[in-house]
């Protein structure tokens, strides 16, 4: 019989396990278990499509696609440009001071949260639903390490805001004020690109131009540790992004966007020694190999994983 995770008491509609502890219940058949699991599964962003109306989408599309057609007189153009430059300069300075103050405040909060002897730096595991058999990934993570926090998100309907909000919520639940020391992004992609969300492919060119993607990486950097004596780690799994020169350009662009946080990106081949080390950092290696061997199989017998 197939077994699956029981949901946390405080969030009966959420699939996320409380403090990474798993308990299980049985189903009468494999097909019934899969059906029940998918009915109860609530991925990050999965409800967004239900509340988003056609009018909302059209309004946003209209506002993005059109600008104010009112003509501007040549003499007023110069004045407005000078005024705009002054405001931009002043605004940038103020924003810089505010960001520095926020940075120091967050660093102090993190310091307080890390002072306790039992503190283990959190490891965020971000899992795209586009990964084949992604729903089983929480069952193959290391159970001897409570610092691993799995987050499954809906590739089709989630937004960058959804993902960031869920990460913040999970960090607060783990230890208020703590930040990410290491992170695994498990998604599809290929040499030089990451397929993060539907119609959102991260390449070095798009990451520099698309505002929502820029803001995602900048906001993610605010969630990285400010106390880690070593660079914070971001592992990329599910694709070999460094398989081309554009992949290296993408990584360098992401590092630049995430400053002043110091982040080291790694995307080793799973069959390499470094890849094995990455897998063992987050997963039970035996269960991972078993899951991997059946990832593209039509067989639904996953009892060994559970």
Angle at 123 between CA 120 and CA 126, to 5 degrees: 160
Residue position matching structure tokens 């698309």: 210
Nearest to 126 by CA among 26, 210, 241, 237: 237
What's the pLDDT score for residue 83?
45
Q: State the pTM of this model.
A: 0.69
Nearest to 27 by CA among 4, 59, 57, 47: 4
How far is residue 260's CA from residue 153's CA, in Å, rounded to a whole number? 27
**Which domains does the chain carry?**
120-305 (3.40.640)
DSSP class of residue 238? S
Would you call the peptide bond into 53 cis, given omega within 30 degrees of 0 as the criterion? no
Which residues in the chain land under pLDDT 50?
A: 1-30, 33-34, 36-37, 39-40, 50-51, 53-55, 57-92
**Contact 114/262 with Cβ under 8 angstroms?**
no
List C-alpha distances in Å: 187 to 162, 198, 250.
16, 12, 16
DSSP string, 92-132: HHHHHHHHHHHHHHHHHHHHHHH-STT----EEEEEETTST
What's the pLDDT score for residue 40?
44
């Amino acid at each position: 019989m197939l077994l699956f995770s029981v949901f946390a008491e405080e969030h009966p509609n959420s699939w996320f396990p409380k403090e990474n502890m798993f308990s299980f219940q049985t189903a009468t058949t494999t097909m019934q278990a899969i059906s029940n699991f998918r009915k109860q599964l609530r991925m990050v962003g999965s409800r967004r499509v239900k509340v988003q109306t056609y009018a909302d989408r059209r309004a946003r599309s209209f506002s993005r696609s059109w600008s104010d057609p009112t003509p501007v007189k040549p003499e007023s153009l110069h004045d407005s440009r000078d005024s705009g430059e002054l405001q931009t300069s002043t605004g940038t300075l103020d924003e810089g001071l505010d960001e520095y103050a926020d940075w120091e405040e967050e660093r102090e909060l993190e310091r307080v949260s890390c002072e306790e002897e039992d503190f283990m730096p959190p490891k965020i595991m971000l899992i795209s639903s586009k990964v084949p058999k992604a729903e089983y990934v929480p069952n193959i993570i290391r159970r001897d390490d409570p610092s691993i926090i799995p987050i499954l998100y809906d590739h089709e309907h989630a937004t960058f805001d959804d993902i960031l909000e869920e990460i913040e919520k999970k960090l607060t639940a783990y230890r208020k004020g703590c930040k990410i020391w290491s992170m695994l992004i498990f998604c599809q992609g290929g040499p030089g690109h990451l397929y993060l969300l539907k119609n959102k492919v991260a390449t070095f060119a798009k990451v520099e131009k698309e505002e929502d993607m820029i803001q995602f990486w900048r906001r993610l950097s605010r969630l990285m540790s400010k106390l880690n004596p070593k660079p914070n780690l971001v592992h990329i799994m599910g694709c070999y992004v460094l398989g081309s020169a554009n992949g290296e350009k993408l990584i360098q662009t992401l590092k630049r966007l995430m400053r002043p946080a110091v982040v080291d990106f790694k995307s080793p081949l799973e069959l390499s020694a470094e890849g094995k080390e990455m897998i063992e950092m987050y997963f039970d290696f035996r269960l991972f190999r078993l899951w991997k061997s059946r990832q593209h199989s039509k067989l639904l017998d996953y009892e060994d994983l559970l």
